[in-house]
Amino acid sequence: MDTKIQPLPATKHIALVAHDGKKAALRAWCNLHRAVLSQHVLYATGTTGHIIERDTALPVTKLLSGPMGGDQQLGAKIAEHDIHMLIFFWDPLASQPHDPDVKALLRLAAVWNIPVACNEATADMLLSSDLMQCEIDRHLPDYDKYLATRMDK
């Protein structure tokens, strides 16, 4: 598929997701990085969003809980270019009933070429990057061109 360049804005829309066993770690991480996160727009799945907002005083747009459709809501926002970064503290040692939704969310983040952190060390590196505060170009699938070729058939 052909690609096109689309910028990620300086003010990022960041999705925050954590499995139950990682919610405390994400809450602590958000508290540690509150100053940087406050410069961006935050989204989260339901329970995670409530915890972060309550314990950090950061404003968070809260979607449904992950198993109730929140992962899919975030995936739709990624596909619509409304989410520019995904911080997902997932628990690789626990079975998740909504694992297909989690895999779909990560797949969409890869398709639409947004930065993803699945653990604290990677999230630290992303947030401390000089690129975090500026507009950066990213390559995306050229869906309009792809659709035009499909319509010609």
Instruction: Please list the active-site residues.
Output: 71
Instruction: At 144, give phi and psi (nearest 5°).
Output: -60, -45
For the chain, helix (H) and strand (E) counts, in that order, are 7, 7
Name the 3-class secondary structure at 14.
strand
Closest to 40 measured CA to CA, from 132, 142, 103: 132
Facing residues of 5 across strands? 139
- Whole-angstrom Cα distance, residue 147 to residue 17? 31
